């Protein structure tokens, strides 16, 4: 049942709707946005001179002994801020239209050979990918789920490859921040993570605009240019994560146990050592080698036809830049064969 105050036409947008427009309340809030009513917090690691953002800490917090400095704005600075001119109104504009908002919610007609209990069909794919597809006849929702496994031993061959793949994921996510936000508002989502020897790409949500998001994500992965300034941010983020990984004894014990059981499990110490020797150029080469020589396996399930599923899978492969002549399919028929080879080794 709908909430008693929710109208049917507001089901999709109810969480973004505003209540009564009160001009006076808006003015009262804006009047509080004054320079003399502003608190600025600057957080940064200590530099080589023991300063934070060029300022020498003058006090220490009593519980965690964090050094800090507090000072008031100078009168001259407040007067300068108070006399700043408002920028021209032409600089302010409404957000651009969200390209991921769906307009079509109809269900595809079921194919003749598909039943709710049938297993996913093997649609073969191409020389560098395999596609499994199942049209949803159970939940009957205008939603689609795309799972893409990107297989390549370079993903996690050793601690250096593991760290470079982790950096690649962080930079792709950084590149897609704006896209992911717009898609999220429209009920479309993606995730990219590493597991064992593969990259797992997952895209799901309303089906109409999902091919556009899958193309954008694949394009960000396939054409990523490692910018030094964003590279340093990703490196520092991973460095903190590796340093903090074993702070808790229980987690440290678990890491040691998994390191003995799983060959793909790398210690925090090994990851930190590998991280220090990686350059933007090395990461660019690693990303290109992982994608160009990969084998892809898709599972597409939901509101789509077999033709549309085939189009999505082919577009992802092409956009990622997978090389047909150098694909891993030349050395094994499918990821399952690769797993068997790895186990025998």
The two most distant CA atoms of the chain are separated, in Å, by 78
Residue 175 pLDDT more than 80? yes
Q: Do the bridges between strand 198-206 and strand 143-151 make them parallel or antiparallel, or are there none, so unpaired? A: antiparallel
User: Rounded mean pLDDT of 192-207?
Assistant: 94
pLDDT, mean over the chain: 87
**pLDDT for the residue 9:** 81
CB 169 within 8 A of CB 154: no
Residue 190 pLDDT more than 50? yes
Residue 340 pLDDT more than 50? no
Residue 334 pLDDT grade (very low, low, confident, very high; cuts 50, 70, 90)? very low
Residue 338 pLDDT more than 60? no
pLDDT 10s digits, 37-77: 889 888 887 787 888 777 888 999 999 988 888 989 899 99
Residue 325 pLDDT more than 60? no
C-alpha span between 284 and 289 (Å, rounded): 9
**pLDDT for the residue 127:** 83
User: Rounded mean pLDDT of 305-310?
Assistant: 95
Residue 324 pLDDT more than 70? no
pLDDT 10s digits, 220-277: 999 999 999 999 999 999 999 999 988 888 888 888 888 888 877 889 999 999 999 8
**pLDDT for the residue 318:** 94
Torsion, Cα 69 70 75 78, to 10 degrees, reads 100
C-alpha span between 38 and 76 (Å, rounded): 15
Residue 337 pLDDT grade (very low, low, confident, very high; cuts 50, 70, 90)? very low
Residue 345 pLDDT more than 50? no
**Nearest 5°: phi and psi at 285?**
-65, -40
Return the higher-pLDDT residue of 6 and 175.
175
Percentage of the residues of the chain whose pLDDT score is greater than 70: 92
pTM: 0.79
**pLDDT for the residue 213:** 98
Residue 78 pLDDT more than 70? yes
Domains along the chain with CATH numbers = 19-82 (no CATH), 121-226+281-344 (3.30.830.10)
Residue 122 pLDDT grade (very low, low, confident, very high; cuts 50, 70, 90)? very high
Residue 330 pLDDT grade (very low, low, confident, very high; cuts 50, 70, 90)? very low
**pLDDT for the residue 344:** 36
Residue 79 pLDDT more than 60? yes
**pLDDT for the residue 1:** 54
**pLDDT for the residue 104:** 94
Residue 18 pLDDT more than 60? yes
CB atoms within 10 A of CB 232: 11
User: Rounded mean pLDDT of 323-335?
Assistant: 48
**pLDDT for the residue 3:** 67
C-alpha span between 322 and 238 (Å, rounded): 28
CB 312 within 8 A of CB 216: no
Residue 21 pLDDT more than 90? no
User: Rounded mean pLDDT of 6-33?
Assistant: 84
């Amino acid at each position: 049942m709908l909430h008693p105050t929710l109208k049917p036409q507001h089901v999709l947008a109810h969480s973004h709707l505003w209540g009564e427009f009160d001009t006076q309340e808006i003015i009262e809030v804006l009047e509080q946005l004054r320079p003399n009513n502003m608190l600025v917090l600057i957080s940064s690691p200590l530099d080589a001179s023991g300063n934070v953002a060029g300022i020498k800490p003058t006090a220490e917090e009593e519980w965690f002994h964090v050094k800090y400095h507090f000072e008031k704005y100078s009168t001259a600075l407040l007067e300068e801020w108070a006399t700043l001119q408002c920028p021209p109104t032409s600089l302010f504009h409404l957000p651009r239209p969200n390209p991921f908002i769906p307009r079509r919610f109809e269900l595809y007609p079921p194919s003749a050979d598909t039943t709710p209990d049938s297993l996913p069909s093997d649609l073969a794919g191409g020389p560098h990918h395999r596609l499994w597809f199942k049209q949803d006849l159970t939940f009957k929702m205008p939603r689609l789920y795309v799972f893409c496994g990107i297989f390549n031993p370079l993903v996690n061959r050793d601690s250096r490859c593991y760290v470079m793949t982790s950096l690649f994921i962080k930079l792709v996510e950084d590149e897609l921040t704006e896209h992911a936000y717009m898609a999220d508002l429209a009920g479309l989502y993606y995730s990219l993570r590493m597991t064992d020897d593969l990259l797992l790409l997952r895209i799901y949500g309303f089906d109409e605009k999902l091919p556009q998001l899958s193309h954008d994500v694949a394009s960000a992965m396939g054409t990523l240019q490692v910018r030094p300034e964003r590279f340093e941010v990703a490196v520092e983020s991973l460095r903190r994560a590796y340093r903090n990984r074993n702070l808790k004894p229980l987690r440290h014990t678990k890491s040691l146990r998994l390191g003995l059981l799983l060959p793909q499990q790398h210690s925090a110490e090994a990851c930190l050592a590998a991280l220090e020797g990686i350059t933007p150029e090395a990461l660019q080469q690693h990303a290109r080698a992982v994608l160009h020589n990969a084998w892809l396996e898709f599972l597409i399930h939901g509101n789509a036809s077999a033709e549309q599923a085939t189009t999505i899978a082919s577009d992802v492969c092409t956009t990622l830049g997978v090389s047909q002549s150098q694909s891993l399919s030349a050395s094994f028929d499918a990821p399952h064969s690769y797993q068997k080879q790895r186990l025998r080794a």
